[in-house]
């Protein structure tokens, strides 16, 4: 099977490609614009594998997408490319509209044009899998039931609003045009190769260097977490066993408050590389909450687990230990990324803090 996968040099996309190349025989056509958060290094040894093809292109470029489908003739689309940082969406929503909404529309149209040329057998096997977020469902309060596949949409940020719009487009192309699409919504991902502006790598790297650990509000906001390799395996199960028109809620069953996450990272670093100045919890600083900060996200993945025969194997403590150890062992990568980011800030490009 040949899979056209968008955003394959991003954090989650690269994990999916590593899984596909290492554990399946599928060919992967990796379409990536190579924005600030993309890294070919994240593909590891699969970067140069004969079943991996990198196409540098923008999903919002209609001509480029038509060319990609005509040249590579994929059997399946896995659409992961997206702008995903909430703080960046607040500061500059236009990029989110272009990539998440216009880009998804452009990709859907290219896929529809490609699909109409298939014979009956290829049409039956074709899938368009759109990867989304739990943030489209809005926020939960204490005691509210977790999100499921049928939770009504209530997005609160420019990021989640553009993802909700793209989800609706994908479902509309299924109902209106018969394109066999599927949507999956997931919780916060963490693991190796995550861009350092996100909460877990930001806290890890700041704590290593003795810098302040910024926590929004009082740190009580709750997120559900899934180790990125677990999510990657679930996404592959969706294309293998998912049904057109269906939605899959993918979660790790690991809700934690932001403050708990930060303290867990501090404890692991204190154990692995003790700081002579003392326990790293001393570095925690509570900062002004961001605008419209949703209180709680949590997914009930029961239906997806039953439908796909899948369950996330990592608990949060095991996953965090693997993640922190990876950053300890890959200093050259994140130091280079951080240096480039700060250089960009000095030149006037947009920076950002933490997100969760």
What would the pLDDT profile of 195-220 be if each residue is shown by its tens digit? 998 999 999 999 999 999 999 999 99
Report if residue 157 sits inside a domain: yes
Distance CA 150, CA 137 (A): 10
Task: State which residues form the domain around 249.
Answer: 2-189+227-253+295-313
Going by their DSSP bridges, the two strands 2-6 and 52-56 should be labelled as unpaired
Distance CA 344, CA 348 (A): 6
Mean pLDDT of the chain: 94
- Mean pLDDT, residues 19-30: 98
- What percentage of the chain has pLDDT greater than the value 70? 96
DSSP code string of 152-209: PP---SHHHHHHHHHHHHHHHHHHHH---EEEEEE-EEE-TT--TTSHHHHHHHHHHT
Q: Which of 135, 224, 229, 230 is catalytic?
A: 135
Report if residue 60 sits inside a domain: yes
Report if residue 326 sits inside a domain: no
What would the pLDDT profile of 280-313 be if each residue is shown by its tens digit? 999 999 999 988 889 999 999 999 999 999 999 9
Q: Residue 352 has what pLDDT?
A: 34
Report if residue 205 sits inside a domain: no
149 has catalytic annotation: no
Number of domains in the chain: 1
Report if residue 90 sits inside a domain: yes
Report if residue 126 sits inside a domain: yes
* C-beta separation of 82 from 99 below 8 A: yes
pLDDT at 27 over 60: yes
Q: Which of 159, 190, 248, 327 is catalytic?
A: 159
Here the tokens at position 334 are 């994140």
Residue among 315, 351, 303, 27 at smallest CA distance from 195: 351
159 has catalytic annotation: yes
What CATH number has the domain bearing residue 115? 3.40.50.720
Residue among 30, 35, 15, 194 at smallest CA distance from 99: 35
CA angle 247, 252, 258 (to 5 degrees): 115
Distance CA 355, CA 73 (A): 37
What would the pLDDT profile of 247-288 be if each residue is shown by its tens digit? 999 999 999 999 999 999 999 999 999 999 999 999 999 999
Report if residue 308 sits inside a domain: yes
Residue among 60, 68, 59, 75 at smallest CA distance from 6: 59
Q: Which of 83, 134, 197, 294 is catalytic?
A: 134
Instruction: Give the CA distances from residue 246 to residues 128, 164, 309, 318, 335, in Å, rounded to whole numbers and listed in that order.
Output: 11, 16, 15, 31, 41
- Mean pLDDT, residues 52-77: 98
Report if residue 104 sits inside a domain: yes
């Amino acid at each position: 099977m040949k899979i056209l996968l968008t955003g394959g040099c991003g954090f989650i996309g690269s994990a999916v490609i590593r899984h596909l190349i290492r554990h399946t025989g599928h060919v992967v056509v990796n379409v990536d614009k190579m924005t600030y958060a993309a890294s070919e290094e994240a593909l590891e040894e699969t970067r140069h594998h004969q079943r991996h093809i990198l196409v540098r292109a923008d999903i919002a470029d209609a001509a480029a997408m038509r060319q990609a489908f005509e040249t590579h003739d994929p059997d399946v689309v896995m659409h992961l490319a997206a702008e995903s940082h909430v703080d960046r969406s607040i500061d500059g929503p236009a990029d989110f509209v272009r990539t998440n909404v216009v880009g998804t529309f452009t990709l859907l149209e290219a896929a529809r044009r490609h699909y109409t040329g298939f014979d009956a057998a290829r049409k039956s096997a074709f899938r368009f899998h759109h990867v989304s977020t739990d943030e489209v469902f809005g926020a939960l309060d204490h005691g509210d039931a977790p999100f499921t596949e049928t939770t009504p949409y209530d997005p609160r940020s420019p990021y989640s609003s553009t993802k909700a719009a793209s989800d609706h487009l994908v479902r509309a192309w299924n109902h209106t045009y018969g394109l066999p699409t599927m949507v999956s919504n997931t919780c916060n991902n963490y693991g190796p190769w995550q861009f350092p502006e996100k909460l877990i790598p930001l806290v890890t790297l700041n704590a290593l260097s003795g810098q302040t650990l910024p926590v929004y509000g009082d740190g009580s906001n709750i997120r559900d977490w899934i180790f990125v390799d677990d999510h990657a395996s679930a996404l592959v199960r969706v294309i293998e066993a998912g049904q057109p028109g269906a939605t899959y809620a993918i979660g790790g069953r690991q809700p934690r408050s932001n403050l708990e996450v930060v303290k867990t990272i501090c404890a692991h670093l204190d154990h692995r590389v003790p700081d002579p100045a003392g326990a790293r919890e001393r570095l925690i600083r509570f900062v002004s909450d961001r605008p419209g900060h949703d209180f709680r996200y949590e997914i009930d993945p029961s239906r997806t687990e039953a439908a796909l025969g899948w369950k996330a194997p990592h608990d949060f403590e095991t996953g965090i230990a693997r993640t922190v150890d990876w950053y300890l062992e890959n200093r050259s990568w994140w130091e280079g990324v951080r240096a480039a980011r700060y250089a960009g800030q000095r030149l006037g490009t947009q920076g950002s803090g933490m997100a969760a």
